Structure 1
Amino acid sequence: MSKRRGSALLLALLLTVAGMLAPAAAGASSASATRASSASAGTRIVTVAKRYVGKARYRKGGASPRRGFDCSGYTRYVYQTAKVRTLPHNAEGQRHSKHMRRISARSARPGDLVFYMSGGRAFHVAIYAGHHMQYAAATTTDGIRYQHVWSKRVQYRTDWH
């Protein structure tokens, strides 16, 4: 076989192998993009949630930084401002919101929601911060706080990862 023909065959073989690998590489970059977008959603949620710690007050029925927040008004406002999802202004409604699914505490990521449960219903909701901490519209005295998850009777839920 001539050198020229051998080089042409080698080039053809390399191009064929590269063509077979391209779809796998595209799938890998797509999976990486999905992980990156979910990571950035969590980062956006936590970034917005942090802004109001010690700066916004608690107000029953509240859903804005100017007027104050209740728990579900706070989570609704943060998710909407972070451009993740529009949630209802009710803890139990958020728990059953479209695409919201229950996850284990071990799978919870910063930005997920923490639902406090009693009698099978959510009575309070907060934003998970990681390491057993949360951002929450706590009380009229405390307003928005960064605090420990204060009960074992909670459900973690997410709709973005």
Structure 2
Amino acid sequence: MTTENTSQPEQPKSIPTSFRRLLCGAALALASLPAFAQNAPADAAKPAPARAEAQRSKADAAATATLAALLPHLAASDTIPLMDRSAMFAGDLSRLISAYDASKGVAAATDAALANDSDGKVQSLLRRAMTLLGTPYRWGGTSPDAGFDCSGLVGYVFRTALGIELPRVSREMASQANAELINDRAALVAGDLVFFGRRGRVDHVGIYVGDGRFLHAPSTGKDVRTDTLLSGYWGDKFMQARRVAL
């Protein structure tokens, strides 16, 4: 005698409330990108139609690029638990927004620092450096394709932007006799090399970009980014700076 299978079809699992909240938050963050892309005050005069259209295009492009980077994790294999996928999504969103804000912050911070850059060399240097934001760290790396370590990044920027060859390692850069030594971080200007270390030994270098921030390739597992040297970890490790003749 056969037994009829009376079990009901398995109902699809509902999406956890926490994940729905995450998606809502992500949608709000993405929706805010166009506002970030427009720097004019709210009470300023409305821009000309052509300018407004250009701003909207840039905002749309930023939102599209962000979605393109995030969607693969949303559409990940079903073998990955839903909450794990949501965690990956949140991590990617956080990194993308941080990079977006960092780029804007560097651009704003350099405006005042470049006021006296009559020949445009410092501006060329920093523009080249900013294009490398987000490049992965790689020990011994000296190119965007291979990745960068700290001195590889600095050397690449100076070489490709201005044709200036620097020593390969940070401690040799820090001892260049033909570059002005600066011990007071309050005297820094955009384009200066900033050095960090422990127990009196230099082991890291970056490029000062203004407003107390510097651009560098931090360490394994991290990407090229900007950090403050006025406080915190890098503030405690700051040792000196050098001003290369441009």
Give the TM-score of the pair, scaled to structure 1: 0.71
| C-alpha distance in structure 1 between counterparts of 2:201 and 2:126, whole Å | 25
Give the number of the structure with larger relative contact order, counting CA–CA contacts within 8 Å between residues 6 or more apart. 1
1:93 matches 2:172: yes
**AA at the equivalent of 1:134:** F
Give the secondary-structure state (helix, strand or coil) at the position aligned to 2:138. Answer: coil
Instruction: Kindly state the Cα deviation for residue 108 of structure 1 after the two structures are TM-superposed.
Output: 1.1
8 Å contact kept, 1:71–1:136: yes
Q: Does 1:102 align with 2:102?
A: no
* The one of 210, 222, 227 aligned to 1:130: 210
Code of the residue aligned with 2:145 in structure 1: it is: R
* Alpha-carbon shift at residue 98 of structure 1 (Å): 4.3
CA RMSD of aligned residues (A): 1.9
**Does the Cα contact within 8 Å between 1:69 and 1:137 map onto a contact in 2?**
yes
Q: Is the 8 A contact 1:84 1:160 kept in 2?
A: no
**Given the alignment of the two structures, is residue 151 of structure 1 paired with residue 238 of structure 2, yes or no?**
no
User: Aligned with 2:165: secondary structure?
Assistant: coil
Q: Which structure has more helix as a fraction of its residues?
A: 2
Q: Is 1:114 matched with 2:199?
A: no
Establish whether residue 77 from structure 1 lines up as the match of residue 161 from structure 2.
no
TM-fit CA distance, 1:71:
0.1
Is 1:59 aligned with 2:138? yes
The code of the aligned residue for 2:214 comes to: Q
**Sequence identity of aligned pairs in percent?**
31
The unaligned stretches of length 5 or more in structure 2 are 1-115
Moved segments of 4+, more than 3 Å: none
The answer to whether the 8 Å contact 2:158/2:166 transfers is yes
Number of aligned pairs? Answer: 125
Flag structure 1 segments of 5+ consecutive residues without an equivalent. Answer: 1-33
For the Cα contact (< 8 Å) 1:41–1:160, is it kept in 2?
no
Residues 20-61 of structure 1: per-residue CA shift (max 9 Å, x gap): xxxxxxxxxxxxxx9623xx222111111100101x110001
Greater strand fraction, Structure 1 or Structure 2? 1
